[in-house]
């Protein structure tokens, strides 16, 4: 006999909420409203991180931020503006390095009813980007005046673990094909090592089709025939570029979720900018952060709640009556959020 605990006895998942700045607080508040309305088993630990706070602290990750994420192990982050001057590193890059969030995951999926130039093509792919090395290691040196070298770091450890993560995901989700994206025809050692690691991992998953594409060809193929792609895995720089290209196929960064996963921590985020020009005007589209929170709930094991929220978002897009301006509608942020909550049933 299975004994179920009363709801009030179930310990909630503690999650660090980093609203960010610009439109961040608006889309974060909308997301919290949706999750609360859906009955998500989440207890929020809100931590402020803005451009002004970074400048005042003199560092990208003030202690209050990193201590919270290290304690909760899971974060939901809105857009944070990196100060232009002062040599500050991107907050995203700093978080990934500090917490060893080695896998950046970007699901690219069409929303029903959303008009794009690919609306008659079925697009459903997932991009896995190695998150910790490559040119993002930031190892640069000015050899002599006006001559700079940047080191591209590729290791067997990082390449193998992102490949294995992509193949494990593919198997678990019942997907069929993994494509490794590279430039090994030019960078024979660095990208060659990445490809060798992918091949070694692929051999352990015989039921999954494995292919390789040079990054420039992959980009062209993605524009010409995006429906051919299923799961893609690639080093850091290519992943940064190709994932934004893929987002453009389905309507842009405003509707695409993002996740950064490590061994012990995970941070889910909207990958669009802070859009200061519309901040505080109730015009922002919270879809990307809401869907990032859906991915977070799936990660936490709250799969039924995640599915309800995803279906509610899709219902609002399918009906097309409460969409924000960036996707062809005229609704306010709060009106879109109310519509999603109303569609939860």
Place of tokens 């794009």: 116
Count of residues in the chain: 345
Confidence label for 10 from pLDDT (cuts 50, 70 and 90): low
Give the per-residue pLDDT at 137.
Answer: 85
Has residue 5 got a pLDDT over 70? Answer: no
Tell me how far apart the alpha carbons of residues 209 and 214 are, in angstroms, rounded to a whole number.
Answer: 17
Domains of the chain are 1-111+250-345 (3.40.718.10), 117-248 (3.40.718.10)
Average pLDDT estimate for 170-180: 97
Tell me how far apart the alpha carbons of residues 172 and 203 are, in angstroms, rounded to a whole number.
Answer: 17
Give the per-residue pLDDT at 243.
Answer: 97
Supply the DSSP symbol for 343.
T
**DSSP string covering 220-288, please?**
HHHHH-GGG--EEEE-HHHHHHHHHHHHHHTT-GGG-EEEEE-SS-EEEEE-S---GGGTTTT----HH
Helix (H, G, I), strand (E, B) or coil at 340: helix
Average pLDDT estimate for 170-183: 98
Give the per-residue pLDDT at 35.
Answer: 98
Greatest Cα pair distance in the chain: 75
Instruction: Count each helix (H run) and each strand (E run) in the chain, helices first.
Output: 11, 12
The answer to which of 8-12, 122-126, 222-226, 340-344 has the lowest mean pLDDT is 8-12
Average pLDDT estimate for 97-120: 93
Pairing state between β 13-18 and 74-77 = parallel
Average pLDDT estimate for 115-136: 93
Helix (H, G, I), strand (E, B) or coil at 15: strand
Contacts of 322 (CB under 8 A, 6+ apart): 316, 329, 331, 335, 336, 338, 339
- Output the six-digit token pair for 289: 């952060």
pTM given for the model: 0.93
- Output the six-digit token pair for 41: 């088993």
Catalytic residue set: 136, 183, 216, 240, 244
**pLDDT tens profile 224-270:** 999 999 999 999 999 999 999 999 999 999 999 999 999 999 999 99
Pairing state between β 140-144 and 177-182 = unpaired
The answer to which of 109-118, 167-176, 214-223 has the lowest mean pLDDT is 109-118
Give the per-residue pLDDT at 84.
Answer: 66
Has residue 85 got a pLDDT over 70? Answer: no
Give the per-residue pLDDT at 231.
Answer: 98
**pLDDT tens profile 207-221:** 999 999 999 999 999
- Output the six-digit token pair for 72: 């909760």
Confidence label for 9 from pLDDT (cuts 50, 70 and 90): very low
**DSSP string covering 152-212, please?**
-B--HHHHHHHHHHHHHHHHHTT--EEEEEE-TTTSTTHHHHHHHHHHHHHTT-TTSEEEE
Helix (H, G, I), strand (E, B) or coil at 75: strand
Tell me how far apart the alpha carbons of residues 345 and 330 are, in angstroms, rounded to a whole number.
Answer: 24
Query: What torsion, rounded to 10 degrees, do the Cα atoms 89, 257, 317, 250 define?
Result: 80
Give the per-residue pLDDT at 68.
Answer: 96
Give the per-residue pLDDT at 87.
Answer: 64
Return mean pLDDT, the chain: 93
CB atoms within 10 A of CB 162: 28
Give the per-residue pLDDT at 213.
Answer: 98
Give the per-residue pLDDT at 345.
Answer: 79
Task: Give the C-alpha distances (Å, rounded to integers) separating 294 from 61, 256, 284, 311.
Answer: 25, 11, 19, 10
**pLDDT tens profile 271-290:** 999 999 999 999 999 999 99
Has residue 15 got a pLDDT over 80? Answer: yes
Helix (H, G, I), strand (E, B) or coil at 128: strand
Report the Cα 133 to chain-centroid distance in Å: 17
Tell me how far apart the alpha carbons of residues 344 and 200 are, in angstroms, rounded to a whole number.
Answer: 44
Tell me how far apart the alpha carbons of residues 130 and 195 are, in angstroms, rounded to a whole number.
Answer: 13
């Amino acid at each position: 006999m299975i004994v179920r605990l009363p709801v009030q006895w179930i310990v909630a998942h503690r999650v660090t909420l980093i609203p960010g700045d610009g439109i961040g607080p608006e889309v974060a508040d909308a997301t919290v409203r949706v999750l609360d309305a859906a009955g998500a088993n989440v207890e929020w630990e809100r931590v402020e991180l803005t451009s002004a706070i970074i400048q005042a602290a003199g560092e990208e990750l003030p202690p209050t931020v990193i201590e919270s994420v290290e304690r909760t192990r899971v974060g939901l982050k809105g857009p944070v503006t990196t100060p232009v001057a002062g040599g500050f590193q991107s907050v995203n890059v700093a978080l990934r390095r500090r917490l060893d969030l080695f896998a950046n995951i970007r699901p690219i999926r069409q929303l029903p009813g959303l008009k794009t130039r690919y609306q008659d093509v079925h697009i459903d792919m997932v991009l896995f980007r190695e998150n910790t090395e490559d040119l993002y290691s930031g190892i640069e040196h000015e050899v002599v005046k006006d001559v700079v070298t940047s080191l591209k770091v590729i290791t067997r450890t990082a390449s193998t673990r992102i490949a294995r993560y992509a193949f494990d995901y593919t198997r678990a989700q019942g997907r069929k094909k993994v494509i490794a994206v590279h430039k090994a025809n030019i960078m024979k050692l660095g990208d060659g090592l990445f490809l060798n690691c992918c091949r070694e991992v692929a051999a352990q998953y015989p039921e999954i089709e494995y292919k390789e594409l040079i990054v420039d060809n992959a980009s062209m193929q993605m524009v010409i025939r995006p429906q051919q792609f299923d799961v893609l895995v690639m080093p850091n720089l290519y992943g940064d570029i190709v994932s934004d290209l893929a987002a453009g196929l389905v309507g842009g960064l405003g509707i695409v979720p993002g996740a950064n996963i490590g061994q012990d921590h995970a941070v889910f985020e909207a990958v669009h900018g802070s859009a200061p020009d519309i901040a505080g005007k109730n015009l922002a589209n919270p879809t990307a952060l809401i869907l990032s929170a859906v991915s977070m709930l799936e990660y936490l094991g709250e799969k039924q709640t995640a599915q309800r929220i995803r279906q509610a978002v899709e219902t609002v897009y399918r009906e097309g009556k409460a969409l924000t301006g960036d996707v062809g509608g005229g609704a306010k942020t709060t009106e879109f959020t109310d519509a999603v909550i109303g569609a939860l049933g």
